Structure 1
Amino acid sequence: MKIDFTEFWDSNYYNNPDLTDEIIIQAERQLGVKLPEIFIKLLKVQNGGYTKGFAFPMRTKTTWADNHIPLSELFGIVLDEKSDSAHNIMQSSYMIEEWGLPDKQVLLTGDGHWWITLDYRLSDKPTIRWIDCECDEDIHVANSFEEFYNRLVSEDEFAEQ
């Protein structure tokens, strides 16, 4: 199910600022990566926040569920170090160190115990990973952010009956 960019976002609870080309350039320079084009397009509609409630169907069981992982929020890009936004990929380096995550990750969402990441370990074109710090899970999710985005479905499809 391909979700229209305008139907993806819910609340920008932390009131992240609008994304500009200058912010993108500076963020990529600081992170040392090139961010996926589809990810940038999403953030230009709303710079991170809560989504309208999506899930990614999984064939591999994770600590989250037997058949999916959640995407109820997606981090944006906030360069202001005084910001208290929890929806911010620029906190990736700190969180990687804090939670003992593998290097070369950009955190897209997570709560500290688990993360969905852009994984740059093998290439400058990232794959998507599910990493659960407490259970030593490091699971391939999708070959690209575009694939990840295009396969998202409503979380209602996994609601318990």
Structure 2
Amino acid sequence: MIPFDRLKDTFWDAGPGEPLNARTFAHAGRELGVRLPLELGELLGLRNGGTVAAHCDAFPTSEATSYSGTHVPFDHLLGVGGRLSILDSPYLSTEWGLPKRVVVLSGDGHTWIALDYRLSAEPSVTWFDAELESELPLAPTFRAFAEGLVPSGSFPAE
């Protein structure tokens, strides 16, 4: 486990990327009707979405998913604005049959990792499989999720 204060300095993969300003981040939360986690704002303040570094591109799971018996992928983090962003969460929820009170962080259309606001104003992080209509809680907070990220290469090949 890497403490968040150290993780954020090496979270993003090398390459160009524009930071997101705090004002736009706060506006995104208001537009979505939620209070976005401060740690998410810190990461997006360094780079407004993109590919994450290989040392933090997976999250271990307590049970098997359609992706793997040991983990789920987290190779990218959506930003605010652009072609696909967290602001698209209401549309994606309708399109893919996800719950209404989620903010999508990462996914490929069939599976998603999202902030889950269904039980609290402080979101947990949940894995959603749209095709199987299943879900798996991953972490109680975004910070715990970020600190639990590990390299996908640390898992045995399946």
TM-score by length of 2: 0.90
Matched, 1:98 2:95: yes
Deviation of 1:96 (Å):
0.7
**Residues of 1 paired with 2:51 and 2:37: CA distance?**
19
Deviation of 1:4 (Å):
2.4
Q: Is the 8 A contact 2:116 2:124 kept in 1?
A: yes
* Within-5 A mapping of 1:79-158: 83=82, 85-86=83-84, 88-158=85-155
* Ranges in structure 2 where 5+ consecutive residues have no aligned partner: none
| CA RMSD, Structure 1 to Structure 2 (Å) | 1.7
Moved over 3 A (4+): none
2:72 alignment counterpart? 69
* Within-5 A mapping of 1:47-66: 47-53=48-54, 54-66=57-69
Q: 1:30 to 1:12 in 2, by over 3 A?
A: farther
**Residues of 2 paired with 1:57 and 1:99: CA distance?**
24
Per-residue CA deviations over 1:22-67 (Å, capped at 9, x if unaligned) read 1012111100001111111111111110111311111111111001
**Residues of 2 paired with 1:6 and 1:159: CA distance?**
27
Q: Is the 8 A contact 1:12 1:50 kept in 2?
A: no
* Ranges in structure 1 where 5+ consecutive residues have no aligned partner: none
**Residues of 2 paired with 1:12 and 1:33: CA distance?**
30
**Residues of 2 paired with 1:55 and 1:68: CA distance?**
6
Q: Which has the larger share of strand?
A: 1
**Residues of 1 paired with 2:15 and 2:65: CA distance?**
28
TM-score by length of 1: 0.88
Equivalent residues, number: 153
Q: 1:31 to 1:12 in 2, by over 3 A?
A: farther
Q: Is the 8 A contact 1:12 1:46 kept in 2?
A: no
Deviation of 1:139 (Å):
1.1
Percent identity, aligned pairs only, is 37
